[in-house]
């Protein structure tokens, strides 16, 4: 089953024929939907604006992204430029297409709005969420149905978080630290197991030859490959990010947390210094990356790498800021 629905290709043709003037706008909104952009937003909010909001985002996004990675293996649906040679991949993306990870993750803006309860921010959040999803259709990397599915799943998860997070946190934080760490580790293992099951079920599945043929022109001269869509790497990175953020949050709570407010120049300084440390860590981890085709080594590297990045951002870097008096407990 290809999971391509009536009207999917027509909507992509329509959007791509609006005009090239849309391309830089749509590329900007697509960039806003990448993990690197969210990482910058999360850590700056967490360190320098609102610690609790930053933590909520740091947990919500990897949970949403982990589920998205699992569902992509379950559906193993094509991207538009794999399915129809007339559709141009204006901005390449790897992996399967259903549901759209960008659209699903973009619902974090709606989740933030529910926390801030500000009408202007609600309007901004709705516009950004819509534009990120539409950018994926215009750029030829997702069908409309894949984007709508991503929105639906992301909104459903946001509603669950909003309604149950207070009761869940009350329950979790009244357990011992050992129990807390075992619980979040168990959730991570469960996610990994689900991802592995769907990858295992695809062990005898082969990418249709017509998908490879249709995508060949767009992928020519790049390192992207449709055959690499089957695998644990995407899920492993997202789950590692969740595990690192969750453990970092629990340890931070254990030592009393910190005050993300303070003098304006301290807020600016710790955002700049933190992002420089973050970039150095991210770059170092990327330097030791194995080849993407080297499974399972690549998946293990992604899991460990994203764990280290998230744990450092949530726990280690704030500890450093406290030591040098840029943060107070």
**CA torsion sign, 229 to 230 to 235 to 236?**
negative
Maximum CA extent, the chain? 60
Q: Is the distance from CB of 248 to CB of 43 less than 8 angstroms?
A: no
N-to-C CA span, the chain: 54
> DSSP label at 259?
B
Token representation of residue 277: 């440390």
Closest CA to 108 of 59, 49, 170: 59
At residue 147's C-alpha, the angle toward residues 16 and 90, to 5°, is 35
What backbone torsions phi and psi does residue 91 show, to the nearest 5 degrees? -140, 110
Task: Note the pLDDT tens digit of each residue in 85-107.
Answer: 888 888 888 889 899 999 999 99
Q: How many angstroms separate the CA atoms of 80 and 251, rounded?
A: 44
- Give yes or no for residue 4 having a pLDDT over 80: no
Closest CA to 329 of 270, 261, 258, 260: 258
- Give yes or no for residue 146 having a pLDDT over 60: yes
Q: What pLDDT does 242 receive?
A: 96
More confident call, 5 vs 145: 145
Q: How many CB atoms lie within 10 A of CB 185?
A: 13
- Give yes or no for residue 1 having a pLDDT over 70: no
**CA torsion sign, 183 to 307 to 39 to 29?**
negative
- Give yes or no for residue 211 having a pLDDT over 90: no
The interaxial angle of helices 144-172 and 119-138, nearest 10 deg, is 140
Q: Per-residue pLDDT averaged across 237-254, rounded?
A: 95
Q: What pLDDT does 10 receive?
A: 87
At residue 127's C-alpha, the angle toward residues 126 and 130, to 5°, is 85
Token representation of residue 204: 């005898």
Residue ranges per domain, the chain?
A: 8-323
Q: What pLDDT does 2 receive?
A: 58
Q: Per-residue pLDDT averaged across 205-234, rounded?
A: 82
**According to DSSP H, which parts of the chain are helical?**
8-16, 23-32, 35-48, 51-75, 80-83, 101-106, 108-116, 119-138, 144-172, 177-201, 209-219, 233-254, 264-287, 297-311, 317-323
Task: Note the pLDDT tens digit of each residue in 274-301.
Answer: 999 989 998 999 888 888 778 789 999 9
């Amino acid at each position: 089953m290809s999971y391509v629905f009536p009207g999917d290709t027509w909507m992509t043709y329509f959007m791509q024929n609006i005009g090239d003037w849309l391309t830089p706008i749509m590329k900007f909104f697509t960039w806003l939907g990448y993990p690197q952009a969210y990482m910058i937003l999360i850590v700056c909010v967490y360190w320098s604006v609102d610690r609790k909001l930053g933590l909520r985002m740091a947990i919500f996004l990897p949970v949403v992204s982990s589920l998205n990675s699992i569902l992509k293996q379950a559906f193993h649906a094509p991207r538009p430029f794999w399915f129809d040679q007339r559709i141009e991949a204006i901005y390449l993306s790897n992996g399967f297409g259903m549901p759209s990870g960008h659209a699903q993750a973009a619902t974090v803006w709606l989740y933030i709005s529910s926390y801030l309860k500000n009408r202007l921010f609600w309007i901004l959040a709705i516009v950004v969420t819509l534009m990120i999803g539409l950018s994926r259709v215009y750029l030829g990397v997702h069908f409309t149905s894949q984007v709508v599915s991503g929105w639906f799943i992301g909104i459903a998860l946001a509603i669950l978080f909003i309604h149950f997070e207070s009761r869940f946190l009350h329950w979790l934080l009244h357990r011992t630290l050992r129990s807390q760490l075992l619980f979040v580790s168990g959730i991570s293992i469960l996610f990994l197991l689900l991802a592995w099951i769907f990858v295992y079920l695809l062990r005898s599945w082969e990418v249709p030859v017509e998908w490879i043929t249709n995508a060949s022109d767009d992928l020519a001269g790049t390192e992207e490959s449709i055959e690499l869509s089957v695998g644990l790497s995407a899920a492993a990175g997202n789950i590692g990010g969740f595990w690192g953020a969750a453990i970092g949050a629990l340890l931070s709570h254990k030592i009393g947390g910190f005050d993300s407010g303070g003098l304006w120049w301290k807020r600016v300084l710790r955002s700049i210094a933190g992002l420089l440390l973050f970039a150095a860590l991210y770059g170092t981890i990327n330097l030791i990356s194995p080849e993407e085709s080297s499974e399972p080594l690549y998946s293990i590297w992604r899991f460990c790498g994203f764990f280290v990045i998230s744990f450092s951002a949530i726990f280690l870097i704030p500890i450093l800021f406290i030591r040098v008096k840029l943060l107070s407990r």
